[in-house]
Structure 1
Amino acid sequence: MHFCLLNPQHLMFRFLRLLVLPLLTISSVAVAQVDFRPGYIIQPAGDTLRGEVDNRSAVRSATECWFRQGAGAVRSYSPTELLGYGLPGSKVYRSRLVAVPDSSALLPRTYFLDVLVAGATQLYYRRDSNGYEHFYVGTGPAAATELVYRRTLTTSPDGSSRYLEKNLFRGTLAETFSACPAVQQQVASLPFKQSQLVAIIKLYNACVGSATSASSQASAIPRSHVTIGMVAGLGIDELRITTNPGFAGLSNADFGTSTQPVGGLRLGVTLPRLSEKLSVQLEVLYHHQRYQNEYRINYSSSTYSEQTRVQLTHIKFPLLLRYTYPTGRVRPIVQAGIAANLGLKAVAEYRQQSATSTTSYSPWQPVFTSEVRTRSGWGPVASAGIQSLGLGGRLLTLEARTERSLGFTHDTGVGSIIWHHQVLLGVTLTK
């Protein structure tokens, strides 16, 4: 008996098709949800109105502010309609007209910029819709100049390739720091990193005697939070067999389901710079499956029974992007990603009914040789569930998960696909 692996291009297409729906679900949920928190807006005349501001992603926060007072209607403001807005103790945004030094084709545009450093010289931040980060420096209440760093791949006439860097941000900062030569000299070797930009602008403000404004005038620097936890539950797995035309035997096999426990460890990392609602979850799970089936085979003028049993043991490595609803004691979660599977054991055996007896069978024989067994594979994963605080402030999660993985052989004749359905309970061991 033989097995086959599906065409890799077809697998990639099917993987993308299966992954699109969960990702669209996450996106639509994220867009639809609002997260109003105590905040304020600064009107063009300088008046401050207090109420609630929608805590949005970094991308959307730069172009729109949703504000409401009490039970009043929600109003949307663009960057040209406000001087700024904020969430006390968390985020501060100011409306600034920004310019790009080396691009005359890009007209100046007004954004809500995240204030990283306040003072005589300010450092601002924005993430665009393509996920790229932008930093700006400003010395006044209205305009800001982008700190430009570009890295491009070029090919020389001899065919060799190398990267060229344009550190235009250093010239912009050197001009800005003209009042403090001691700080200005440090710009020549300054790397283009947020932490370095924050540090040197704070240093310049101290040099020129500008009080580095109170923390309420600048956003709190978001930091990733790492958690370690355990996860355990029950897996219900379905093995599906497909055979090539003319292949007898397993064409009639229906293995049904395998119900076995599953468990392991989980590592979670939040992504506050992208969104406070997003995190990455990496798990290591032990998973065993056991299938058995008996079926009838018609061969020539004879009909006989055949039995097949399959045992699979894997270490699974799911990598998931999680969206968590931002409010409430019990918060919905949605996840999507991929799972890599490392095979520890793959045993598939069959036996046939004796030609002389309807009750006895031949000895068990391997379905395939060890050379055609698949030791590793991957598949798309999606899940939905809830999250809540448990005893001692530890996070509890309960989720229903579905995964589609490849079979366990790369020979020809027969293909196999496994659907994994799991109910999992997780608890963090760290706070």
Structure 2
Amino acid sequence: MAQSDFRSGYIINQQNDTVWGKVDYRQDSKRYQQCRFKKEDQIAEYSPQQIKGYGFSNDEAYSSVVIDSSFVEILVEGKLSLYRQGPKFYVQKKGEKLQVLERKVETIIKDNKTYQRESDAWKGIMIYLTSDCLKNATNLLTNMHVTERDLTQLVVKYNKCQGTNLTVYKEDKPWTKLVIGAAVGATYTTLKTTYHMDMYSYMKDRYTSIDPTVGVVLDFSSPRIMEKLSLQPEVYFTKSSYTGFVVLNTVASTDYHNTQIDLTTISIPISLKYSLPKREYSGYIQGGFNFDYHIKAATNLRTEKAWLYDTVTTTESKAFDVNKKQGGFWGGIGFLKAFSHFDGSINVRYFHMLKLSQTAGIDMNSDKITFTVIIYSK
């Protein structure tokens, strides 16, 4: 029930009456088998045998009268109509039988070699159905494939050529969508050090820092193909500073080691984002890879030696070398709230980054926990 996504819609009963309410929006195969309809907090489930169809306001529509015992999505209605059921498409010209269009791969043997190619049988069907008005139908189909976008464009073109009334469902639903956002947050970072040579015993096992971060977010999606999944690349700018203090006792002296690490970093996290059904507060999960580029990196080691006779010697040097480039992976969860002019989001993320140091004898990885607020444009 948590995954239910009831949206404004309707059902068409056996008496051809349209009953308005809310319909559960699904993007899996169940949408062709069943309709879940809510009216006044009562939920009913309808099979294709019980209703003639259902749909959503200004969005998808389904019919149970095209093929037996199943719903099909109506893409275009006109003199030539187009329907879809999963990977299969159906076309029907008024007065003619229903035709099936699907992508098939055929095996060709030529010169004792075996090849595979996409069958053109579906193109023959479309040429037959459209050539009475589209005289260049063969040329139009040259670079087309069995996809919703290509077939919709062809069927719409034919109906407009005929000058007949037509309905194009999902016409206002974009094929691609880009949302831009601005982000601000805080990052808690832990640098974990393992050294394999005693000469690096001045290093602490871990260094920590809490730093502000700002960034830009891009969210790419294809609502016509998969509404809940999007690709989200981001860019963040962070300045961080880490300090460590280690005391080492030797036979002749006591050594005090202060290490300072300063990083100015551009981070580029790229993720796949899965959004839960939109409500007043809706959630999402995401995960992917992260690339850090340290545009400025400085490390400093300051050592003070206290000898037995209280003489102090101070030296300064580079603590270790830093890799300019650092890769890793991450995952996170977030919550989104829609406002009038923008969408607001908060999220928590965990990053595991590899190989900060390029110095032989030192292994240094970093773990980051970030808390971010993102404002998305409408």
TM range (shorter): 0.7 to 0.9
Q: Distance in 2 between matches of 1:58 and 1:338?
A: 27
Do the aligned residues in 1 keep the contact of 2:202 with 2:246 (CA within 8 Å)?
Answer: no
Pair 113,297 (structure 1): closer, same or farther in 2 beyond 3 Å: farther
Aligned to 1:291: 242
User: Aligned residue for 2:326?
Assistant: 377
Which residue of structure 2 aligns with residue 123 of structure 1? 82
State whether structure 2 residue 369 is matched by structure 1 residue 415.
no
Q: 1:377 to 1:123 in 2, by over 3 A?
A: farther
Higher Rg of the two aligned structures: 2
In the superposition, relative to structure 1, how do residues 353 and 118 fare at CA in structure 2: closer, same or farther (>3 Å)? same
Contact 1:231 1:264 in 2 (8 A): yes
In structure 2, the CA distance between the partners of 1:277 and 1:359, relative to structure 1 (3 Å rule), is farther
1:398 aligns with 2:346: yes
Kept in 2: contact 1:149–1:169 (CA 8 A): no
From the superposition, tell whether residues 110 and 344 of structure 1 become closer, same or farther in structure 2 (CA, over 3 Å). Answer: farther
- TM-score if structure 2 supplies the norm length? 0.82
Cα distance, 1:366 vs structure 2 = 1.7
Between the aligned partners of 1:317 and 1:154, the Cα distance in structure 2 is: 48
Pair 1:389–1:210, CA change in 2 (3 A): closer
Residues 112, 287 of structure 1: CA spacing in aligned structure 2 closer, same or farther, 3 A cutoff? farther
> Do the aligned partners of residues 338 and 181 (structure 1) sit closer, same or farther apart at CA in structure 2, a change above 3 Å counting?
closer
Corresponding residue for residue 204 of structure 1: 158
Q: Deviations for 1:153-185, whole angstroms, at most 9, x for unmatched residues?
A: 999989xx9984433321121233364462644
- 8 Å CA contact retained: 1:241, 1:251: no
Number of aligned residues: 374
Is 1:362 aligned to residue 314 of structure 2? yes
Higher percent of residues as helix: 1
How far has the Cα of 1:301 moved from its partner?
8.5
**Which residue of structure 2 lines up, in the alignment, with residue 308 of structure 1?**
259
Counterpart of 1:145 in structure 2 is: 100
Q: CA deviation at 1:37?
A: 1.7
Which residues of 2 match residues 14-413 of structure 1 at below 5 A?
32-43=2-13, 48-57=18-27, 60-75=30-45, 77-78=46-47, 82-95=51-64, 112-127=71-86, 134-139=88-93, 143-148=98-103, 150=105, 164-177=117-130, 179-180=132-133, 182=135, 184-192=137-145, 194-208=148-162, 210-213=164-167, 218-220=169-171, 222-223=173-174, 224-244=176-196, 247=198, 249-250=200-201, 253-297=204-248, 304-354=255-305, 356=307, 360=312, 362-369=314-321, 373-390=322-339, 393-413=341-361
Give 1:43 deviation, angstroms. Answer: 4.7
1:361 deviates by 5.3
Alpha-carbon distance between aligned partners in 1 of 2:3 and 2:189, rounded to the nearest angstrom: 34
What 5-or-longer segments of structure 2 have no aligned partner? none
Letter in 2 for 1:38: S
Whole-angstrom CA distance in 1 between matches of 2:90 and 2:126: 10
More off after superposition, 265-274 vs 89-98: 89-98
Residues in 2 aligned to 1:415 and 1:313: alpha-carbon distance in whole angstroms: 20
Partner SS for 2:315: coil
Structure 1 vs Structure 2 CA RMSD: 3.8
C-alpha contact (below 8 Å) 2:183/2:375 kept by paired residues: yes
Q: CA deviation at 1:417?
A: 1.6
Q: CA deviation at 1:328?
A: 3.5
Q: Deviations over 1:302-340 (max 9, x none)?
A: 763322222222111112333444444443343322221
SS at match of 2:40: coil
1:231-278 deviation line (CA, Å, top 9, x unaligned): 11222111111234x646448614442111110222223331244333
Q: What is the SS of the residue equivalent to 1:169?
A: helix
How far did 1:367 drift?
3.0
Question: When you count strand as a share of all residues, which structure comes out higher?
Answer: 2
Instruction: For 2:164 and 2:330, locate their aligned partners in 1 and report how far apart those are by CA, in whole Å.
Output: 52
The AA in structure 1 aligned to 2:39 is: Q
Identity fraction in percent: 24
Q: TM-score, normalised by structure 1?
A: 0.73
Deviation at 1:149, TM superposition (A): 6.0
